[in-house]
Amino acid sequence: MREPGCDPAFHLFLLLGQSNMAGTPLPEPRDLVRNPRVYVLSYADCAAQEREYGHWSVASPPLHGCNAGLGPGDGFGRILADAYPDARIGLIPCAISGVDIDYYRKGVVSARRHEFLIPPDNHWSGAYEWVVERARLAQRSGVIRGILLHQGESDSGDPAWTGKIKEIVEDLRSDLGLGDVPLVAGELLHGGLCEKHNALVNELPRVVSNTSVASARGLGGMDPHHFDLDAQRELGRRFGARMLEALAG
């Protein structure tokens, strides 16, 4: 959906998931060097980053809130900016650490809703409506070109998970007027406690149209669930490579 007056050269991407999308490892100084053509739709009011919820700022970690770490969105934004030197890249962070996939389903109230806060004031019954509101706000400025997903640790091994992802993506595509925009889903940590869930992640291209998978093979962890700093940098590059392939196709 293109709003009147929005810039078609402002390429927007939704970032959905839980803690590995938000990022756990703390960034180093080189991660804080900003690309002036990569923006983030602020996730919270963060005085240290001079960000106000719902306003665009030049991106730097953390993208999800004020105190998260480096996630794949950071490296992804740099890869896309390099690939499109005449465009701006806009990241719409919507990850919430620890949430189950029901949190993102339209018209569904997760049984764990009470455990987590949805910014800025937690009034939503679920995250789907929040994501749509943020996406529509972003669409006033640019065009959504794709969706990134890293989620599954809270639903590890649940055979219903792929069907729920299909439902969420189809609802977002329809409600936001996105057509068949690409979805790139990231694998969970190989060798981690939820590694077996990757079998379901790799089913998504068969279940959801225009979907590809960013591999986590060879990437290290800081604990049994979370990628370490080098892994997050590389995972962001892999998300970017898969998205560029999809957009070129």
Gyration radius of the chain's alpha carbons: 16
Active site residue 226: yes
User: Could you give the angle at the alpha carbon of 116 between the alpha carbons of 113 and 120, nearest 5°?
Assistant: 110
Pairing assessment for the beta strands 10-17 and 143-150 based on DSSP bridges: parallel
Active site residue 64: no
Among the listed residues 11, 64, 150, 226, the single catalytic one is: 226
DSSP H or E run through 28: none
Among the listed residues 82, 180, 223, 230, the single catalytic one is: 223
- Exposure of 192 by Cβ count < 10 A (0-12 exposed, 13-18 middle, 19+ buried)? buried
Longest dimension (CA), the chain: 48
Can you name the residues that pair with 215 across neighbouring β-strands? none
User: Could you give the angle at the alpha carbon of 98 between the alpha carbons of 161 and 96, nearest 5°?
Assistant: 95
Cα(243)–Cα(249) distance, rounded to whole angstroms? 10
Active site residue 223: yes
Among the listed residues 19, 97, 110, 154, the single catalytic one is: 19
- Catalytic positions: 19, 223, 226
